[in-house]
Amino acid sequence: MGLAGYVALRVGWAAVVSVIIVTVTFGLLAAAPNPSVQQAATQAALEGGDPQEAVERERQLRGLDEPLHVRYLDFVTGVYTLEWGWSEYRSQPVTTALADAVFYTAQYSIPWTILTVLLGPLIGVYSAANMYTWRDHAATGFAFFGYAIPNFFFGIILLLIFGVWLEWIPIVYRTEVPTFSLANARQLAIPVFVLVTGSIGAIMRVSRNESAAFQNATFMKTAKAKGVSPLRAYAYHVMRPTLVPLSTTLVGQLLAIFLGSSLLVEVVFGIPGLGRLTFNALVAQDTNLVLGSTLLFTFLAVIGNLLEDLAFTVLDPRISYDDREL
């Protein structure tokens, strides 16, 4: 089985996983009381009307009187045609609401990912090259600090310091600021720093531990004996084998931060991104928007895992596609 067959099988399995996750999410939301129906009943009772009649009218208006399997099949059909329904909370199509949120999420997630991918392995290798020195201790302390402090708490502290006391950054994210401008970079600097601090620790520690095992290997000693420069030796003989186990940690860590901590960061800094949109949709019990967000996050996680498998296979020539199991 070659690359095309392996990717095709992985994509097919990804489609099955996505359907399962969407089904579970739809079932949970369908079992929960709908706030619009309850509000209609309360409003009818206050106005002296018939609450039961108001409930039936509201259920019919929102299509909740249809059988559960009919509503589910309609949604699944719409998924593959990008007809993800109408968001009652945003009063716009779900795909439009998600596209608007992705635009703001990408503004901080792209620089955060680039910085994490570049700095994490480099700091880890540098720490291993200076093991048990003050440089190593400083890098280790920074990694443990990122592990220990919650992102939302760290964000609040930095917002108080740089936003309230020093007034260097706006307290609330301003959407009217041009994307590629100094003002936008300034208001995104703290959110990016908070996310980098939270994600770089695990990557740096794995990179340090793995590279420490390679820097005293026989091939490293041979390279030094041949007069290879330290920079070239670490780049070719330490960094590359370190990236093999690091690829698994890197993708998993980035996905965990993106799916979890990004929500808290967006709420703290007022960024109207995917995390905040999903949170508000859950509060409003907007079924279509919640399911759309779930599907989007699922696709991102599945694509990330697929890239992780492919990167692992490419970086380690000892592994072939025939050896991989789904």
**Could you tell me the mean pLDDT of each successive run of 10 residues in the chain, 326 residues long?**
70 79 78 75 78 79 79 78 82 90 88 85 83 86 83 86 87 86 90 86 80 76 78 74 71 67 79 88 82 80 75 65 53
What gap in Å lies between CA 51 and CA 44, rounded to an integer? Answer: 5
| Ramachandran assignment for 82, one of left (phi > 0), alpha (psi -120 to 50 degrees), beta (any other) | left
In the chain, where does the domain assigned CATH 1.10.3720.10 lie? 94-320
Q: What predicted TM-score, i.e. pTM, was given to this entire model? A: 0.75
Q: Which residues, 6 or more positions from 246, have their beta carbon under 8 angstroms from its beta carbon? A: 121, 203, 206, 207, 210
- Which is it for the CA torsion 22, 27, 33, 39, positive or negative? positive
What gap in Å lies between CA 279 and CA 309, rounded to an integer? Answer: 31
pLDDT at 287: 76
Q: Could you tell me which of 100, 94, 151 has the C-alpha nearest to residue 268?
A: 151
pLDDT at 326: 46
* β-pair partners for 86: 93
- Which is it for the CA torsion 72, 74, 80, 85, positive or negative? negative
Token pair of 278 as six digits: 């999903």
Token pair of 171 as six digits: 């307290």
pLDDT at 98: 92
pLDDT at 2: 65
pLDDT at 324: 52
Cβ neighbours around 47 below 10 Å, total = 8
pLDDT at 253: 64
pLDDT at 207: 81
Any idea which architecture 94-320 has in CATH?
Orthogonal Bundle (1.10)
What gap in Å lies between CA 260 and CA 249, rounded to an integer? Answer: 16
| Cβ atoms of 247 and 313 closer than 8 Å | no
Tokens 């692992």, residue located: 312
pLDDT at 97: 92
| Cβ atoms of 38 and 28 closer than 8 Å | no
